[in-house]
């Protein structure tokens, strides 16, 4: 596929030979966020629309309208009274969220976690709340939220491995 990077390519090919050690204006290396974008590009429109069923109502409607029903960004922006650029960024944000492996894992295995961790996993990986938003809502520091999310990720992977082990037996 043209424009798609493969995992077996050297890092210099992914970020460009001249940009391997450089930083852009925002202080990020040119390849930052590369894997999220690559995974998002590999998902078909049908896969994105299928995963959207786990989203809250409004994002689910937006993603379904754009990726499944074929509505244009202009039409969606007009309906929701937002600028086209903002609507496009919002759609690409939800596409990236749906492409994240943590989203799929949380969607399938969050019910097997303790209540607090399940709520945190759903809020972050499925509803798209940032660490700061979660910290404000939970009256905690960003560090505490990040630590709890790390615990939730380990618990999700453990639950997934446990279920896979029972299925293979």
In whole angstroms, what is the distance from residue 40 CA to residue 62 CA?
17
Read off the pLDDT of residues 90-140 as tens digits, 9 standing for 90 and up: 898 888 888 877 888 888 888 888 898 889 988 888 888 889 999 999 999
**What CATH number does the domain located at 33-99 have?**
1.10.10
Most confidently predicted of 30-34, 50-54, 83-87: 83-87
101-168 CATH, one of 3.90.930, 1.10.10, 1.10.357, 1.20.120: 1.10.10
pLDDT at residue number 99: 82
Instruction: Go through 114-145 and write b for each residue having 16 or more CB atoms within 10 A of its CB, e for each that does not.
Output: eeebbebbbbbbbebbeeeebbeeeeeeeeeb
Domain ranges of the chain: 33-99, 101-168
Mean pLDDT of the chain: 76
Indicate whether 51 pLDDT > 70.
yes
Read off the pLDDT of residues 64-89 as tens digits, 9 standing for 90 and up: 999 888 889 999 999 989 999 999 99
Q: Residue 100 in contact with residue 125, Cβ under 8 Å?
A: yes
């Amino acid at each position: 596929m043209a424009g798609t990077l493969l995992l077996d390519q050297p890092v210099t090919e992914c970020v460009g030979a001249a940009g391997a050690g450089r930083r852009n204006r925002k202080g990020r290396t040119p390849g930052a966020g590369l894997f999220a974008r690559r995974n998002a590009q590999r998902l078909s429109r049908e896969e994105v629309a299928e995963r959207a069923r786990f989203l809250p109502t409004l994002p689910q409607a937006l993603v379904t309208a754009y990726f499944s029903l074929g509505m244009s960004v202009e039409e969606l922006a007009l309906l929701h009274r937002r600028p086209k650029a903002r609507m496009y960024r919002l759609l690409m944000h939800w596409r990236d969220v749906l492409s994240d492996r943590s989203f799929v894992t949380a969607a399938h295995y969050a019910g097997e976690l303790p209540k607090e961790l399940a709520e945190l996993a759903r809020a972050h990986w499925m509803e798209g709340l940032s660490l700061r938003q979660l910290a404000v809502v939970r009256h905690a520091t960003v560090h505490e939220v990040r630590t709890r999310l790390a615990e939730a990720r380990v618990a999700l992977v453990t639950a997934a491995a446990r279920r896979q082990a029972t299925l293979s037996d």
